[in-house]
């Protein structure tokens, strides 16, 4: 019975759509965050002077606000993924469960 359930779920077009959307969206957000992190690290490695630019008359350099912005953007991408997972992805998941309810 479990094999039949698994096969039915995997053959469901909504399941295929769910897997496709989740993978696509996750990869896009992941690449976006990695590009941000690596751009910052490569800037540190190859052009420290840009990040060493002082802000105003204080001791703070431009590196600190940029690093803070990267952390905030990373957090926001997580929030975006969770909202979509709890919305669109969860709705598709519930539709799939409804389609195979008779085998459960």
Please state the pTM of the whole predicted model. Answer: 0.80
Query: What is the chain's alpha carbon radius of gyration, rounded to the nearest angstrom?
Result: 22
Asked if residue 19 lies in contact with residue 96, where contact means CB atoms within 8 angstroms, the answer is no
Computed over every residue of the chain, the mean pLDDT equals 92
Ramachandran quadrant class, 4 (left: phi over 0; alpha: psi -120 to 50; beta: rest): alpha
Length of the chain: 104
pLDDT tens track for 19-35: 999 999 999 999 999 99
Decide if 54 contacts 64 (C-beta within 8 A): no
Q: What is the pLDDT of residue 103?
A: 73
Answer yes or no: is pLDDT of 72 > 90: yes
d(CA 8, CA 103): 9
Of residues 33 and 4, the one with the higher pLDDT is 33
Q: Give domain limits for the chain.
A: 2-103
Which class for 66: exposed (0-12), middle (13-18), buried (19 or more C-beta within 10 A)?
A: middle
**Does the pLDDT of residue 79 top 90, yes or no?**
yes
- Dig out the tokens for 57 from the structure: 């008359």
């Amino acid at each position: 019975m479990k094999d039949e359930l698994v096969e039915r779920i995997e053959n469901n077009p909504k399941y295929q759509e769910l897997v496709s959307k989740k993978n696509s969206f996750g990869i896009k957000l992941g690449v976006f965050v990695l590009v941000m992190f690596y751009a910052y690290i490569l800037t540190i490695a190859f052009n420290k002077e840009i990040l060493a630019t002082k802000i105003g008359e204080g001791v703070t350099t431009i590196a600190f606000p940029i690093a803070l912005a990267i952390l905030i953007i990373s957090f926001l991408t997580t929030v975006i993924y969770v909202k979509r997972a709890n919305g669109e992805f969860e709705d598709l998941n519930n539709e799939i469960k409804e389609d195979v309810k008779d085998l459960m």
